[in-house]
Amino acid sequence: METNFSNLRHSTAHLLAAAVLRLYPEAKLTIGPAIDNGFYYDIEFPTPITDSDLPAIEKMMQKTLDAWDSFTSREVSEEEARKIYQNNPYKLELIDEIVKKGEKITLFKAGMFEDLCRGGHVDNPAKEIEAFKLLSIAGAYWRGDEKNKMLTRIYGTSFPTQQELDLYVQQLEEAKKRDHRRLGQELDLFTFSELVGKGLPLFTPKGTMLRELLNDFSQRLRIKRGYQKVWVPHITKKELYETSGHWTKFGNELFLVTSQETDDKMVMKPMNCPHHQQIYASKQRSYRDLPIKYLETTTIYRDEKAGELMGLSRVRSVTQDDSHAFCTPEQIHEIYQSLIEITKEFYEALDMNFRARLSFRDPQSPEKYLGEDGLWNNAQEIILNIAKENNLDYYVAEGEAAFYGPKIDFMVSDALGREWQLATPQLDFVQPKRFGLTYIDSQGIAQTPVMIHFALMGSIERFLSVYIEHTAGKFPLWLAPVQVQIIPVSEKFTEYAKRVVEALQMAGLRVEVDFSNNTLGAKIREATLQKVPFMCIIGGQEEEKSKDGKLMVSVRARDGKDLGMVTISEFINQIQNDIETKH
């Protein structure tokens, strides 16, 4: 029988909570959900604990598990629930929410431990919870709000077998080596400053080069398919988002801007689509003009909670390689086809595989979405047919749609097998209608255009967090911020090294030179640690064999392979083809 990982891991979270109370009777439990690849439990401890305490908790979990042969549930009244948890303000707050929603209050018990819970457990925990491990401790504000008390979050994971757990732990160790936050510092790509603020990354020259190379590639793919660049400001009147519907949906995530001269209430833009619609709306459009395609790489701003910020994967300044197409219903297929081709070309060049998640609305909660049922059904049918026609590896995910339309989320796999949602082409029948956008059809009748949102990387910051870890910082030659490191054996070859640098730069290559007093071995190690694709070593032999203006260099690849001594022109010819073909 196929394992329900969510039930398994949520059950193990219960086991963690039970063990904690046996070791720390004064601890106050809050929530312990299953998450991707594991679970956590947020707990208020009477005294601080550290990672060194986890083995003892694990041992107690194992001891507790022996008596857990089942989960039983019972429904209790609000009065009884409040009495049980009278000394736990967190559970009382949860009870308030359950009562407000009109839901039943249920408790689940295994062994001697009973917890407030909606359910979702294994049948026989003593037999089914076979392999678990506590992974780490972190601080977490209650409900993710920094105004609330800081709790201790214990992360763990659980698998059906020890073999699966061991493989996962190995993957975690490899992930630590590839952590983009660590590599970002080691490779000098980006930094953060307390004076600037949390979640606001600063990119160094090397990191900026990486961003711009990726963005240039992204934009070229779209420009050759008819997209045109536009530009919009970073602040706007809040009425723009009230009209679009974003204010109601995301108002608490917006940064507000107040003028000192007037009473105008402005916001930092959290998305670009309403602005691009205003460019479309600036003049009357004919069906002959369509499709109209705009693109813009620009930064948007969202007031993410401080406790949820993490490296580049969750920031407050989000740079999107954004684009919007306005078209007739008959042109949807053509535009989606081109966007699928763009996505394939981009991610194949980066050696990343993907599958398509068709993100549709939840049919059980239509009130969460804007627009008429007929429009939604039509849009979802179009997306499903396009996925089939292109033989995409796809699956349908109900409830994952945006509030104004269904979409295809391209789920990209990294080198560790983890899956990330990145590129997103999205149909939108709703926003154009809300803004009154029109075009005149062949019969002279005003019609509402269809809008297709598309971001190839999604967010450059988040994409980089994935891509840095996918490559472990070993970027392909065409993307490497420094493509060639020049290493003179000693300072007496400084002038020769400068001539080599000039020749490579004239060929359009990105070059650095190590003029330090370090030994040759130390210079090679440093270039290797910086993951520079090629090193050109320059010494007496190279200088002696240079004649008739032909500069000689000894080439070494970052994987340690010695490529021998060649002329600088031969070296340039060898690597330029790799750059042009994006190898």
Which regions of 131-210 does DSSP assign to beta strands (E)? 131-141, 150-159, 190-191, 202-203
Q: Which two tokens stand for residue 31?
A: 């929530």
Record the tokens describing residue 240, joined without a space. Answer: 């723009």
Q: Where are the alpha helices (DSSP H) in 305-441?
A: 332-349, 373-389, 431-434
If you search the block for the tokens 């001594």, which residue do you land on? 565
Is 562 annotated as catalytic? no
Which residue in 117, 273, 327, 536 is the catalytic one? 273
Strand 450-455 to 317-327 pairing: antiparallel
Enter the DSSP assignment of 482.
S
Task: Give the Cα separation of 361 and 406 in Å (integer).
Answer: 7
> Quick one: DSSP state of residue 252?
G
The single-letter code of the amino acid at 423 is: A
Which residue is catalytic, options 320, 380, 485, 530?
320
Q: Is 246 a catalytic residue?
A: no
Catalytic residue among 28, 211, 407, 523: 407
Strands, DSSP E only, in 213-349? 228-229, 235-237, 256-258, 265-268, 292-301, 317-327
Residue 275 among the catalytic residues: no
Residue of 275, 453, 470, 556 marked catalytic: 453
**302: annotated active-site residue:** yes
Instruction: Confirm whether 541 is a catalytic residue.
Output: no
Tell me 402's DSSP state. B
What does DSSP say about strands 353-360 and 407-413: parallel, antiparallel, or unpaired?
antiparallel
Closest CA to 59 of 133, 162, 6: 133
Candidates 53, 321, 322, 409; catalytic one: 322
Calpha distance 476→96 (Å, rounded)? 54
**Annotated catalytic residue: which of 10, 302, 361, 433?**
302
Active-site pick, 275, 324, 462, 556? 324
Taking residue 242's Cβ as centre, other Cβ atoms within 10 Å add up to: 12
Residue 234 is among the residues annotated as catalytic for this protein = no
Catalytic (active site) residue 407? yes
Active site residues: 273, 302, 320, 322, 324, 407, 453
